[in-house]
Amino acid sequence: MAESIDRFIKVPDGLNLHVRIHGAENGGTPVVCLPGLTRNVLDFEDLARMLAAPPNDRRIIAISSRGRGVSDRDPKPERYTIPVEAGDVISVLDALGIDDAAFIGTSRGGLILHVLAMTHLNRIERLVLNDIGPVLETEGLRQIQGYLGNRPVLASYAEAADILKATHGAEFPALGPDDWAGMARALYREIDGKLAADFDPDIAAQFRAADLSQPFPDLWAQFALFADKKVMVIRGEHSRLLSRATTDEMARRHSGCTIVEAKGQGHAPLLHLDGLAEAIGVFLGS
pLDDT in tens, 162-190: 999 999 999 999 999 999 999 999 999 98
| Measured distance CA(28)–CA(26) in Å, rounded | 7
Q: What is the four-CA torsion angle of 67, 72, 78, 81, rounded to 10 degrees? A: -60
CATH of domain 4-137+217-284: 3.40.50.1820
Rounded CA-CA distance 136/141 in Å is: 7
Q: Where are the beta strands (DSSP E) in the chain?
A: 4-10, 16-22, 31-34, 60-63, 101-106, 124-130, 188-191, 194-197, 230-236, 257-262
> Taking Cα atoms as reference points, which of 92, 94, 116 lies closest to residue 105?
116
Instruction: Report the distance separating Cα 14 and Cα 138, nearest Å.
Output: 35
Structure confidence at residue 150 as a pLDDT band (50, 70, 90): low
Is residue 116 within 8 A of residue 225, CB to CB? The reply is: no
**Per-residue pLDDT tens over the stretch 7-50:** 999 999 999 999 999 999 998 999 999 999 999 999 999 999 99
- Cβ atoms of 34 and 63 closer than 8 Å: yes
Contact 18, 64 (CB under 8 A): yes
What sign has the CA pseudo-torsion 229, 235, 239, 243? Answer: positive
The structure's pTM equals 0.95
